[in-house]
């Protein structure tokens, strides 16, 4: 009976030790999860605070980029117009030059007239 009582006491002690360990692990897990939750909440608060400022910066950057695109499109349009004008002038000058130059019989295809 003493051995049985000792065995029960050992079993009870082991069980109590296991339960204590499980509770300690559970408490540790809860503490870790609680810390993670608090950290996540703080991060959300910081992001909520920073969000309007970041959105304003993004809007400014987008507006600046749109303005730069408009300015570049205007420059491209102006340069395209200038190029078209220059080509027209060159074509007109070439036409005028061809009227003023005497045509050589060799160039006109009349080799018989040359002789």
pLDDT tens digits, one per residue of 64-115:
999 999 999 999 999 999 999 999 999 999 988 888 766 666 655 555 554 4
pLDDT tens digits, one per residue of 16-47:
888 888 888 888 888 989 999 999 999 999 99
* pLDDT band per the 50, 70, 90 thresholds, residue 56: very high
**pLDDT for the residue numbered 35:** 94
* DSSP notation for 42-102: HHHHHHHHHHHHHHHHHHHHHHHHHHHHHHHHHHHHHHHHHHHHHHHHHHHHHHHHHHHSP
**pLDDT for the residue numbered 108:** 57
**pLDDT for the residue numbered 109:** 59
């Amino acid at each position: 009976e003493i051995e049985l009582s000792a065995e029960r006491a050992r079993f009870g002690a082991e069980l109590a030790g296991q339960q204590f360990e499980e509770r300690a692990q559970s408490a540790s897990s809860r503490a870790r999860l609680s810390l993670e939750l608090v950290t996540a909440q703080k991060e959300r608060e910081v992001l909520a605070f920073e969000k309007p400022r970041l959105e304003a910066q993004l809007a400014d950057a987008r507006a600046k980029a749109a303005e730069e695109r408009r300015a570049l499109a205007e420059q491209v349009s102006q340069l395209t117009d200038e190029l078209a004008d220059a080509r027209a002038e060159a074509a007109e000058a070439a036409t005028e030059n061809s009227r003023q130059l005497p045509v050589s019989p060799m160039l006109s295809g009349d080799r018989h007239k040359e002789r």
